[in-house]
């Protein structure tokens, strides 16, 4: 055991940082010494002599409610729930229900009784956010022709692979893959135009930029000359 020295107060000051002491049951245990008087090798005494550690588990939130969930915590949970809702809204299984809800609210008038209340209703704002995200998810049909055509080709390849796997498992084919133009025309006419034109009723950028681009792309897929 390294030697120790006497302090001016008569206590023992450790000259090392690690030594061993005999316990009451005949065993030995290490003592970690940080410097200063060593009063005992008892763990309880050592804990009592250690500096107090602030307890961070209970804090007052901004509302002054000691120990309750913090305001930041509630905001984080709310934001996480919103993110989950937005992600799930891109599932096409919810497409027609969300679109019908937005169309009914727009028919009632923006900021009118029974209509769409973007300034006062968080529910309506979340609905609009969902539809904007859906539009972004399907936006390849509203992009400039060269980009739209490239994405259409990729989706056509993916769809054909999906149908091949369906056949391998004895499932009924879910869609017609004989023609990429036919697939895109059908998707635009039966699904995408309804979404973008409805959204364009409340979002100027969609009405002024994206819907005209879609009409140009539709004309090109149909083999005509874009307007």
pLDDT of residue 25: 54
pTM of the model: 0.63
Q: What's the CA gap between 115 and 4, in Å, rounded?
A: 83
Give CA torsion, residues 36, 42, 44, 46, to 10 deg. Answer: 10
DSSP designation for 69: -
Among 50, 70, 72, CA closest to 58: 70
Among 138, 137, 110, CA closest to 124: 110
pLDDT by 10s per residue, the chain, length 227: 444 444 445 544 444 444 444 544 555 554 444 444 444 455 555 555 555 655 555 454 444 444 455 778 888 999 999 999 999 999 999 999 999 999 999 999 888 888 899 889 999 999 999 999 999 999 999 999 999 999 998 988 888 888 888 888 888 766 666 688 888 999 999 999 999 999 999 999 999 999 999 999 999 999 866 65
Query: 213 CB contacts (<8 Å, ≥6 apart)?
Result: 142, 143, 144
Q: What's the CA gap between 155 and 138, in Å, rounded?
A: 11
Tell me the three state secondary structure of residue 6.
strand
pLDDT of residue 159: 83
pLDDT of residue 179: 82
Give CA torsion, residues 110, 116, 122, 127, to 10 deg. Answer: -120
User: H helices then E strands: how many in the chain?
Assistant: 9, 4
pLDDT of residue 42: 59
pLDDT of residue 93: 92
Q: What's the CA gap between 98 and 123, in Å, rounded?
A: 12
DSSP designation for 171: P
């Amino acid at each position: 055991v390294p030697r120790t020295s006497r302090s001016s107060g008569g206590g023992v000051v450790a000259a090392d940082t690690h030594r061993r002491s005999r316990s009451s049951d005949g065993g030995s245990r290490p003592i970690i010494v940080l410097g200063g008087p060593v009063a005992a090798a008892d763990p309880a005494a050592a804990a009592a002599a250690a500096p107090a550690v602030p307890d961070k588990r209970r804090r007052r939130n901004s509302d002054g409610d000691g120990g309750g969930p913090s305001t930041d915590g509630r905001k984080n949970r709310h934001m996480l729930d919103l993110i989950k809702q937005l992600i799930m809204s891109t599932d096409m299984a919810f497409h027609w229900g969300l679109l019908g809800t937005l169309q009914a609210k727009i028919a009632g008038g923006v900021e009118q009784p029974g209509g769409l209340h973007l300034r006062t209703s968080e529910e309506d704002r979340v609905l609009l956010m969902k539809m904007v995200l859906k539009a972004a998810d399907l936006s390849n049909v509203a992009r400039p022709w060269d980009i739209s055509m490239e994405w259409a080709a990729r989706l056509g390849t993916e769809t054909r692979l999906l149908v091949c796997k369906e056949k391998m498992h004895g499932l009924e084919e879910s869609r017609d893959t004989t023609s990429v133009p036919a697939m895109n025309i059908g998707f635009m006419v039966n699904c995408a135009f309804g979404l973008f034109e409805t959204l364009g009723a409340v979002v100027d950028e969609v009405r002024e930029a994206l819907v005209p681009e879609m009409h140009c792309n539709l004309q090109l897929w149909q083999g005509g000359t874009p307007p």
